[in-house]
Amino acid sequence: MITAVRASQRLDSRGNPTIQVDVKTSKGWFRSLVPSGASTGLHEAVELRDKIKSVYGGKGVETAVKNVQDVIGPALIEKGFDVRTQLKEIDQFMRKLDGTPNKARLGANAILGVSMACARAGAAEKGVPLYEFLRGEAGVEGPFVLPVPFLNVLNGGVHSGNKMAFQEFMIAPVGATSFEESIRIGCEVYHRLKEVITAKHGPTATGVGDEEGFAPPIVLPQQALDLLETAVADCGYTGKVKFAIDPASSEFFRDGLYDLGFKQETRNVLTPPGLGELYHQLIYQYPVVLLEDPFAEEDGDSWTEFNKTCKIELVGDDLLVTNVERLRIAREKKACNSMLLKVNQIGTVSEAIAAANLATSFGWSIFVSHRSGETTDDFIADLTVGLGTGHLKSGAPCRGERTAKYNRLMDIESELKATGKPYQYAGENFRFPQNL
Ligand code: PGA
Ligand code: ZN
């Protein structure tokens, strides 16, 4: 039973306000902190901001805080839900209380904060770790799966001040034999990459972007992938480490065309087929195993066309926004073969789990993701293991808000080892770890 609910305005990794929620039960207080995106999808649930320009540039969340304290909290306490077994009912109750299709009244940030804190409370009341609680909620069975971390080590797009159009270049240590080893390999490559960048562009080029990947003065995707290839080869991990790209192309889609020069003085425009051809070249030339949001969410036909010949994981982020209705449309159009899972895109834990289960029923993969504006909350680490998704992205292995998730995953791996529960590192099977 929930006996108290408290909310506060705190900070995210970009220095913007975010919401912190504390839920109390007989087992104590349970906390959550909500993340926030920059390259957000058009159809995401509404993140409520105060919009008072003179306070935090309009980004305050005092209204969302009040909505938790004055509306959601008292109503939940009165209902007397059992957090051990009624997370779905709690989430559904909050959706009804909100009354809009996209959580615009109370705010998806307010609702998600309560949902995550209730999941933590439920796990504690049940006396199980959060990942086990979430696994129960999702109905997942079989051995536990530790994910391959996809580390975003080069930042561009709206996440950095360089001129590179593509937002994320990730390294994935699929050849490791454990999660802990995958982190070691990832860190070694990350540090070598810093040296490679310094040698090429000087020490001022090693500043980092929003997700803590380096943001050197490069422009083309080939330049990014060449840097990664060099760093991986120098560390002796060629073949063990694969690459992934999230161009976040909605950010540079204008009038039916893609402008790779959108952060430069001159335009560099490609047609959708032209951009598709560029992706095919990159996949042919480099060990790229995953491509996310290669086309804009309003450019569904290009997704469908590209998917006909795409042999790698094709992930919908802005396209799907962790929303079952958007998933159904994308499946109908044969637009992609994988879903990015961001809990704050939909605004409750149980709806995120429902989206994951629907994706699985389609035969799609699930790729769990942080946001570019993060906090030290490590919820998605437990969610990844709970759902057994085989891979997640939480930025570079650097700075607290990113490493919190990787550290938590190493804790989970140690705990599974110590308790003798069956588990496996997803490795090469990151797309379909249930085949392990
Ligand atoms: P965002 O970026 O959190 O800024 O939306 C992450 C992504 O596009 O995957
Ligand atoms: Zn994305």
In a domain, 435, yes or no: no
- In the reported structure, the alpha carbon of residue 150 is separated from the centroid of ligand 2 by a whole-number distance in angstroms of 12
Q: CB–CB of 109/60 below 8 Å?
A: no
3-state secondary structure of 151: strand
In a domain, 434, yes or no: no
Distance of alpha carbon 266 from alpha carbon 270, whole angstroms:
13
In a domain, 51, yes or no: yes
**Does 81 share its domain with 110?**
yes
- Check residue 436 and give its pLDDT: 79
**Does 192 share its domain with 325?**
yes
Q: CB–CB of 319/330 below 8 Å?
A: yes
Residues 6+ apart with CB under 8 A from 251: 39, 157, 158, 167, 262
pLDDT in tens, 9-67: 999 999 999 999 999 999 999 999 999 999 999 999 999 999 999 999 999 999 999 99
Is the C-beta atom of 345 inside 6 A of ligand 1? no
Is the C-beta atom of 317 inside 6 A of ligand 1? yes
**Does 227 share its domain with 106?**
no
Structure tokens at 344: 């704050």
**Of 60, 94, 127, which residue constitutes the final position of a domain?**
127
Structural domains in the chain (count): 2
In a domain, 190, yes or no: yes
Residue the block writes with tokens 């992205």: 393
**Does 182 share its domain with 100?**
no
CA atoms within 13 A on the CB side of 422: 4
Work out the pLDDT band at 233, boundaries 50, 70, 90. very high
Nearest to 409 by CA among 382, 430, 433: 382
- Check residue 35 and give its pLDDT: 98
| Whole-number percent of the chain with pLDDT over 70 | 100
CATH classification of the domain holding 191: 3.20.20.120
In a domain, 132, yes or no: no
Distance of alpha carbon 38 from alpha carbon 7, whole angstroms:
23
- Cite the active site residues: 211, 342
Which whole-number Å values give the CA distances from 108 to 32, 95, 98, 200, 339, in the listed order? 14, 9, 9, 44, 20
- In the reported structure, the alpha carbon of residue 281 is separated from the centroid of ligand 2 by a whole-number distance in angstroms of 21
Q: What stretches of 84-236 show up as alpha helix (H) in DSSP?
A: 87-98, 108-126, 130-138, 179-201, 221-234
- Check residue 10 and give its pLDDT: 99
Distance of alpha carbon 68 from alpha carbon 347, whole angstroms:
14
H-run or E-run covering 426: none
Distance of alpha carbon 204 from alpha carbon 209, whole angstroms:
13
- In the reported structure, the alpha carbon of residue 371 is separated from the centroid of ligand 1 by a whole-number distance in angstroms of 5
- Check residue 59 and give its pLDDT: 98
- Check residue 224 and give its pLDDT: 98
pLDDT in tens, 341-366: 999 999 999 999 999 999 999 999 99
Residue 82 assigned to a binding site: no
Ligand 1 pocket mutation pick from 109, 166, 342 by most atoms within 8 angstroms of CB: 342
Average pLDDT for 403-427: 98
Nearest to 288 by CA among 226, 231, 234: 226
Is the C-beta atom of 394 inside 6 A of ligand 1? no
Is the C-beta atom of 371 inside 6 A of ligand 1? yes
**Of 127, 151, 173, which residue constitutes the final position of a domain?**
127
- In the reported structure, the alpha carbon of residue 85 is separated from the centroid of ligand 2 by a whole-number distance in angstroms of 32
Distance of alpha carbon 132 from alpha carbon 182, whole angstroms:
23
3-state secondary structure of 289: strand
- Check residue 136 and give its pLDDT: 98
Distance of alpha carbon 366 from alpha carbon 83, whole angstroms:
26
Ligand 1 pocket mutation pick from 36, 47, 317 by most atoms within 8 angstroms of CB: 317
- In the reported structure, the alpha carbon of residue 37 is separated from the centroid of ligand 1 by a whole-number distance in angstroms of 5
Range of the domain at 155: 138-429
Phi, psi of 371 (to 5 degrees): -120, 165
Angle at 250 between CA 245 and CA 254, to 5 degrees: 130
**Of 127, 154, 182, which residue constitutes the final position of a domain?**
127
Neighbour count for residue 93 (Cβ, 10 Å):
16
pLDDT in tens, 123-140: 999 999 999 999 999 999
Residue 369 assigned to a binding site: yes
In a domain, 143, yes or no: yes
- Check residue 398 and give its pLDDT: 97
Distance of alpha carbon 206 from alpha carbon 203, whole angstroms:
6
User: How much is the mean pLDDT over the chain?
Assistant: 98
CA atoms within 13 A on the CB side of 117: 32
- Check residue 435 and give its pLDDT: 81
H-run or E-run covering 326: helix 324-332
Q: CB–CB of 67/158 below 8 Å?
A: no
Measured over the CA atoms of residue 282, residue 284, residue 289 and residue 295, the dihedral's sign is positive
DSSP 378-393: -HHHHHHHHHT-SEEE
CATH classification of the domain holding 106: 3.30.390.10
Atom number of ligand 1 nearest to Cα 372 = 3
In a domain, 106, yes or no: yes
User: Beta 288-292 vs 242-246: how paired, if at all?
Assistant: parallel
Is the C-beta atom of 251 inside 6 A of ligand 1? no
Which whole-number Å values give the CA distances from 391 to 227, 312, 406, 430, 436, in the listed order? 23, 15, 12, 6, 14
Is the C-beta atom of 182 inside 6 A of ligand 1? no
3-state secondary structure of 429: helix
Is the C-beta atom of 39 inside 6 A of ligand 1? yes
Average pLDDT for 203-230: 98
- Check residue 211 and give its pLDDT: 98
**Does 119 share its domain with 249?**
no
From the number of C-beta atoms within 10 Å of its C-beta (0-12, 13-18, 19+), residue 4 rates as exposed
Residue 317 assigned to a binding site: yes
pLDDT for residue 434 is more than 90: no
Residue 370 assigned to a binding site: yes
Distance of alpha carbon 104 from alpha carbon 97, whole angstroms:
11
Angle at 187 between CA 150 and CA 239, to 5 degrees: 60
Residue 201 assigned to a binding site: no
Ligand 1 pocket mutation pick from 251, 372, 375, 401 by most atoms within 8 angstroms of CB: 372
- Check residue 395 and give its pLDDT: 98
In a domain, 133, yes or no: no
